[in-house]
């Protein structure tokens, strides 16, 4: 649904109420931010309109009542599509909850996770945005420094959706090649700046990518790699909630000798 709000000739604002499958990560973050407390009914309607349209307040205030009602009706239809996605996520959780019971007491596995994600249309291992295609590699094939930077990005993240974007910016492989290796003679600062510039451009791209695809790839990484899940589990509470108490991801510590251990 595309709407043009016109205050005067040459003074208009166009916006689109996107279908759920076309909503970007940035849209998702804006729409699902906590609602301010104590709003009156019309103020709450205004908040919803501005979140979905991203229109300046002066255009929202100039809308006619019939326009508001038409847009809110369409938003309600989009919300129903969101609910269908939430239902799929709930079915994943339900499947996981019954896993051991239906598999002779065997614990939930990463292979099982992939199959369930596929069955509910939530599984992704590639994404294309602005004509650039990115592929999800095996985390364990990456360099240790990549995991160090992934952990650093998780500390900087403010929301689960943003965590997905930051994780993909570090982990995905694209036309710009694998994660940068520090050049001989390159200072630590210059190398860190080069990695950050690459990650920031990728974050911009993934913020503009469809939310359902970005979430699907984060789920792909989470279900395939213990290292990824251990680093990102606290930031990705939705994905972490799928795991049993025995497999939930907690912060890891590195002992003086031996393998990585759960804290």
Q: Which region holds residue 59: left if phi is over 0, alpha if psi is between -120 and 50, else beta?
A: alpha
Query: pLDDT digit string (tens) for 132-182?
Result: 999 988 888 888 999 999 999 999 988 999 999 999 999 999 998 889 999
Q: Identify the top-confidence range among 138-142, 238-242, 257-261.
A: 138-142
Query: pLDDT digit string (tens) for 61-90?
Result: 999 999 999 999 989 888 876 666 666 666
Which H or E run includes 14? strand 11-16
Supply the pLDDT for residue 138.
83
* 93 compared with 32, residue with greater pLDDT: 32
E-only strand ranges, 59-207: 126-129, 132-135
pLDDT tier at 263 (50, 70, 90 boundaries)? very low
Residues 258, 29: Cα–Cα separation, whole Å: 40
* 94 compared with 207, residue with greater pLDDT: 207
Shortest CA distance to 121 belongs to which of 213, 211, 29, 210?
213
């Amino acid at each position: 649904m595309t709407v043009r709000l016109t205050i005067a000739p040459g003074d208009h604002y166009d916006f689109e109420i996107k279908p759920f499958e076309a909503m970007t990560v940035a849209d998702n973050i804006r729409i699902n931010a906590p609602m301010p407390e104590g709003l009156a009914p019309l103020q709450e309607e205004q908040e919803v309109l501005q979140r979905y349209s991203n229109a300046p307040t002066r255009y929202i205030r100039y809308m006619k009542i019939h326009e508001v009602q038409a847009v809110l009706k369409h938003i309600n239809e989009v919300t129903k599509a969101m609910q269908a996605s939430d239902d799929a996520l709930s079915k994943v959780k339900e499947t996981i909850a019954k896993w051991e019971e239906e598999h002779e007491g065997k614990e939930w596995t990463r292979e099982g996770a992939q199959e369930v994600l596929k069955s509910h249309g939530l599984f992704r291992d590639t994404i294309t945005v602005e004509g650039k295609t990115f592929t999800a590699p095996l985390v364990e094939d990456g360099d240790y420094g990549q995991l160090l930077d992934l952990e650093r990005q998780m500390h900087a993240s403010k929301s689960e959706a943003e965590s997905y974007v930051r994780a993909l910016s570090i982990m995905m492989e694209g036309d710009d090649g694998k994660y940068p290796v520090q050049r001989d003679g390159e200072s630590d600062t210059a190398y860190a700046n080069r990695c950050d510039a690459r990650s920031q451009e990728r974050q911009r791209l993934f913020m503009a990518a469809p939310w359902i695809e970005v979430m699907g790839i984060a789920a792909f990484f989470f279900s395939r790699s213990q290292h990824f899940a251990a680093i990102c589990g606290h930031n990705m509470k939705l994905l972490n909630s799928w795991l049993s108490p025995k497999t939930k991801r907690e912060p890891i510590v590195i002992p003086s000798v031996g393998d990585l251990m759960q804290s």
